[in-house]
């Protein structure tokens, strides 16, 4: 069904639905993203480093990020001297909106999806590339050399890793014969002879998604020690919070897409007793997604940061050739049936 056709008859209803869904997804993103993930990150890093982590606000410190958020919202908003005010203000909004748009094609459970687009994974790749513009703009508009360097690094990195990411998506599209996320989930589990190709695509996707989300070992755009947090170092709390929302939102969206493409989406190993397919699907989907998030956090607190040349070499000299070869293998596998 085309979007244009839907606009015709009852477009007011459609418009209302759009607003409500945006609010719902945004709330999910804000609560399930930064609010929960920052706490998880702090707890997991503490656990890995044999520390205790936040402990005082609420039982076992679970209200720590709520308190932090309230603090962030109360602080004064400052625009740096000689910054480009319009772009400085627009950049964090663009990053947050791009993270929000990713979720349109993520299926939470059978039938629970904002819109099952024909071009689902292509759409995902397209809107997640909008983040780069926000980061680049924010870095430049801050009128700070560290911010600009962070923004430029980020652009170089994200553009480089978009290619292997795109190739992994292509492999999945080749194997399943569709771009729709719902139909990709329905096509799983993959036939056994697809496994070599699927596993390589999954590994490439995970590495590239880590780089796209600017996380260690690929967090050069915001390397604290050399760039003072990179592109968002000049941002005061409210807008900083939007960047955080975009960043953790992108992390969560990548994990959700990984779950959708490679871990069977809403399909669980067994059906939960006493709940409908929708609740069952959502529980399995969120469990898998947060398991992937946990894995990425584990990686972050285990490995050191890489250098920019290492980072670009990994993308152009290893991941790209491997994923190109993998695409060829996937084609052969499909033809051989």
Partner 1 sequence: MNAEALAFYALAAMVLVGGFLVVQSRNLVHAAISLVPTLLGVAGLYVLLNAEFVTAIQILIYVGAITVLILFVILLTEGATGLRVRQRNEQVPLALLVCGILVVLFLVVLLRVPWGPPTGPMPAYNPGAVGRSFLMPYVLAFEVTSLVILASLVGAIVVARREG
Nearer to partner 1 by Cβ, of 163 and 286: the residue is 163
Contact (CB, 8 A) for 188 and 264: yes
Q: Is the dihedral of CA 210, 214, 219, 225 positive or negative?
A: negative
* Shortest spacing between CB 331 and partner 1, in angstroms: 11
**Smallest gap from residue 7 Cβ to partner 1 (A):** 4
Q: Which is nearer to partner 1, 7 or 52 (CB)?
A: 7
Nearer to partner 1, 69 or 129 (CB): 129
Helices (H) and strands (E) in the chain, counts: 15, 0
Decide: 211 and 164 in contact? Cβ < 8 Å: no
Q: Residue 6 CA to chain centroid, in angstroms? A: 29
Please provide the DSSP assignment of 130-189 as one string: HHHHHHHHHHHHTT-HHHHHHHHHHHHHHHHHHHHHHHHHHHHHHHHT---HHHHHHTPS
> Cis before residue 189, ω within 30 degrees of 0?
yes
Tell me how far, at minimum, the Cβ of 122 lies from partner 1, in Å. Answer: 4
Output 104 or 297, the one with its CB closest to partner 1. Answer: 104
- How near is the Cβ of 179 to partner 1 at its closest, in Å? 5
Compute the distance between CA of residue 116 and CA of residue 181 in angstroms, rounded to an integer. 7
Residue closer to partner 1, measured from CB, 148 or 208: 148
Query: Which lies closer to partner 1 via its Cβ, residue 84 or residue 186?
Result: 84
Cα–Cα nearest to 144, from 246, 229, 24: 229
C-beta of 97 vs 314, nearer to partner 1: 97
* Interacting residues with partner 1 (CB under 8 A): 2-5, 7-8, 11, 84, 87, 117-119, 122-123, 125-127, 129-130, 132-133, 136-137, 140, 143, 148, 151-152, 155-156, 159, 162, 173, 177-179
* Whole-Å CA distances, 236 to 21, 143, 149, 175: 29, 14, 19, 46
What's the min distance (Å) between Cβ of 198 and partner 1? Answer: 18
Give, for 336, the enclosing helix (H) or strand (E): helix 320-336
CB nearer to partner 1: pick between 4 and 273:
4
CB of 48 to partner 1, least distance (A): 35
Instruction: Return the number of the residue (39 or 105) whose C-beta is nearest partner 1.
Output: 105
User: Shortest approach of partner 1 to residue 235 CB, angstroms?
Assistant: 18
Minimum CB separation from partner 1 for residue 232, in Å? 17
Whether the Cβ atoms of residue 217 and residue 303 lie closer than 8 Å to each other: yes
Minimum CB–partner distance for residue 117 and partner 1 (Å): 6
239 to each of 2, 40, 76, 108, 254, how far by Cα in Å?
A: 36, 22, 11, 29, 23
Neighbours of 177 (CB within 10 A): 10
């Amino acid at each position: 069904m085309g979007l244009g056709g839907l606009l015709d008859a009852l477009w007011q209803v459609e418009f209302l639905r759009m607003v409500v869904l945006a609010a719902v997804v945004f709330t999910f993103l804000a609560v399930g993203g930064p609010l929960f993930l920052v706490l998880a990150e702090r707890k997991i890093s503490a656990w890995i480093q044999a520390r205790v982590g936040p402990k005082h606000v609420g039982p076992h410190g679970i209200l720590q990020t709520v308190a932090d958020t309230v603090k962030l919202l109360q602080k004064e908003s400052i625009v740096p001297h000689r910054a480009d005010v319009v772009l400085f203000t627009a950049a964090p909004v663009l990053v947050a909106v791009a993270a929000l748009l990713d979720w349109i094609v993520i299926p939470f459970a059978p039938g629970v999806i904002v819109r099952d687009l024909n071009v689902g994974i292509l759409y995902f790749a397209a809107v997640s590339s909008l983040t780069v513009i926000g980061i680049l703009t924010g870095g430049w508009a801050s009128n700070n050399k560290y911010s600009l360097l962070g923004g430029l690094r980020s652009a170089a990195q994200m553009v480089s890793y978009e290619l292997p990411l795109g190739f992994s998506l292509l492999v999945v599209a080749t194997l399943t014969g569709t771009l729709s996320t719902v139909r990709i989930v329905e096509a799983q589990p993959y036939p056994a002879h697809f496994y070599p190709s699927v596993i390589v695509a999954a590994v490439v996707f995970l590495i590239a998604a880590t780089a796209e989300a600017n996380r260690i070992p690929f967090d050069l755009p915001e390397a604290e020690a050399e760039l003072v947090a990179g592109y968002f170092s000049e941002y005061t709390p409210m807008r900083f919070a939007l960047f955080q929302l975009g960043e953790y939102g992108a992390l969560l969206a990548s994990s959700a897409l990984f779950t959708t493409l490679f871990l069977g989406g809403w399909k669980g190993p067994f059906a939960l007793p006493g709940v409908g397919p929708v609740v069952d699907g959502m529980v399995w989907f969120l469990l898998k997604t947060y398991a992937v998030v946990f894995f990425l956090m584990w990686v972050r607190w285990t490995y050191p940061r890489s250098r920019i040349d290492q980072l670009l070499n990994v993308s152009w000299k290893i991941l790209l050739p491997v994923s190109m070869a993998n695409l060829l293998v996937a084609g052969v596998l499909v033809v051989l049936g």
